[in-house]
């Protein structure tokens, strides 16, 4: 594990996240927000580990801007900005929720507090179920409800979800955190009227390569080679394929690759009762006496 690459990626991610937190986004389009953050990551010397997620209101995760996305942020929107930075494939994953509606401040505060309390108990040997328990309890104490079927995750080189889940509720079965791995902790909190689960929506505009096996289509194979060279196995956006391909062609080729199970598509994740969701996230590496949070 290249600890310094994790730390360097985290420094960039933290700076970009805090700039996004401070900025007034009302009146901006989702496309402008995603592209400006992605360009800032590159200006600071990092690479995007995945497309910036700009998920509004009841959409908890996995929405990034479409190529000509004209969705405008309004004053009562709850905007989750989830960004990733990679250096040599080592990833910093972090998120902030921007809210201009006082009625939903408590959701933002609950997600941030749950993350803070979770991080405070982690060290080598801490059980993941204990982290889920403290996230759940903190969210509920602050008037929110944790999303049960979303979780944090272990990280590996060029792999965002590396097999271990960091739960947002108490759960049976767990693992113990190790100093040889990096992890992301990301509480998602919804209102008391929510179901506390997410369902898959119809929109799919984030993709990743599953395998480099060849398709029976030369143009599709050219796209696979392009994806591998540019993004490795990390997620990418449809808009990242333009202007190499026009939008219609890119969509057609991606559809073929998804059908052939060469590329995976990620559906947006929506709160099951269409209630608003807030998110907070840090990346960390456990230590014997505490934790190194790379994204502070």
As annotated, the active-site residues are: 82, 93, 153, 161, 186, 281
| Long-range contacts, stretch 246-252, CB < 8 angstroms, 24+ apart | 247/67, 247/68, 249/219, 250/223
Q: In the structure encoding, which two tokens stand for residue 186, read together? A: 């990301």
Q: Which of 15, 20, 42 is nearest to 30 (CA)?
A: 20
Consecutive H or E run containing 31:
helix 30-43
Omega before 228 within 30 of 0, i.e. cis: no
What are 79's strand-pairing partners? Answer: 56, 98
Residue 136: strand, helix, or coil = helix
DSSP state of 19: H
Contacts of 10 (CB under 8 A, 6+ apart): 85, 92, 94, 283, 293, 294, 295, 296
């Amino acid at each position: 594990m290249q600890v310094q690459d994790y730390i360097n990626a985290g420094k960039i991610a933290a700076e970009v996240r805090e700039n996004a937190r401070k900025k007034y986004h009302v009146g901006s389009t989702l496309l402008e927000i995603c592209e400006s953050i992605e360009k800032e990551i590159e200006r600071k010397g990092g690479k995007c580990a995945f497309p910036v997620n700009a998920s509004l209101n009841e959409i908890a995760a996995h929405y990034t801007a479409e190529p000509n996305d004209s969705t405008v942020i309004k004053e009562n929107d709850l905007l989750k900005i989830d960004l990733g930075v990679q250096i040599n494939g080592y990833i910093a994953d972090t998120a902030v929720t921007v809210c201009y509606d006082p009625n939903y401040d408590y959701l933002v505060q609950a997600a941030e507090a749950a993350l803070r309390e979770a991080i405070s108990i982690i060290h080598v040997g801490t059980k993941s179920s204990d982290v889920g328990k403290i996230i759940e309890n903190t969210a509920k104490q602050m008037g929110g409800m944790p999303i049960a079927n979303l979780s944090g995750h272990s990280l590996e080189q060029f792999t965002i979800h590396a097999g271990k889940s960091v739960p947002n509720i108490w759960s049976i079965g767990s693992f113990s955190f190790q100093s040889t791995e990096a992890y992301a902790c990301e509480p998602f909190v919804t209102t008391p009227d929510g179901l506390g689960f997410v369902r898959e929506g119809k929109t799919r505009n984030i993709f990743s390569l599953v395998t480099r096996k060849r398709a029976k289509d030369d143009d599709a194979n050219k796209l696979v080679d392009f994806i591998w060279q540019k993004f490795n196995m990390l997620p990418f956006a449809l808009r990242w394929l333009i202007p190499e391909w026009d939008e219609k062609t890119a969509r057609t080729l991606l559809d073929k690759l998804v059908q052939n199970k060469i590329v995976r598509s990620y559906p947006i994740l929506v709160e099951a009762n269409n209630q608003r969701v807030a998110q907070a996230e840090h990346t960390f590496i456990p230590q014997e006496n505490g934790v190194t949070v790379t994204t502070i």
